[in-house]
């Protein structure tokens, strides 16, 4: 198995991070928020939204397999607390 040095360094330095490889994106939505584009993806077999920001729109990831590095956080939406995963690194397989 090939080691991924940048990911291993991140995981060693930040213990709250999780890394998942070769997982299928079932839904990908992009929306503008000021100068950022907020990307929300749903992954196969997981009922939690994964979010990340970019300066520009990105190609649709629906149906693609990705490697992601993320951490859990809680957002309040309409008065309800929802668990969301913030992606800090995403790469198409």
Domain ranges within the chain, ordered by starting residue = 21-92
DSSP E strands in the chain: the ranges are 18-33, 36-43, 49-54, 65-77, 80-92
Looking at residue 51, its pLDDT comes to: 95
Grade residue 1 by pLDDT with cuts at 50, 70 and 90: very low
Radius of gyration of the chain (CA): 14
| Model confidence, pTM | 0.81
pLDDT in tens, 8-61: 676 667 677 888 899 999 999 999 998 999 999 999 999 999 999 999 998 899
Dig out the tokens for 53 from the structure.
């920001």
């Amino acid at each position: 198995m090939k080691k991924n040095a940048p990911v291993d360094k991140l995981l060693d330095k930040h213990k709250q991070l999780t890394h998942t490889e070769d997982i299928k994106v079932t839904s990908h939505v992009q929306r503008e928020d000021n100068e950022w584009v907020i990307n929300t993806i749903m992954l196969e077999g997981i009922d939690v939204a994964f979010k990340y920001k970019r300066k520009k729109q990105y190609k649709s990831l629906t149906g693609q397999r990705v490697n992601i590095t993320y951490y859990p956080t809680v957002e309040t939406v309409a008065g309800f607390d929802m668990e969301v995963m913030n992606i800090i690194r995403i790469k198409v397989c």
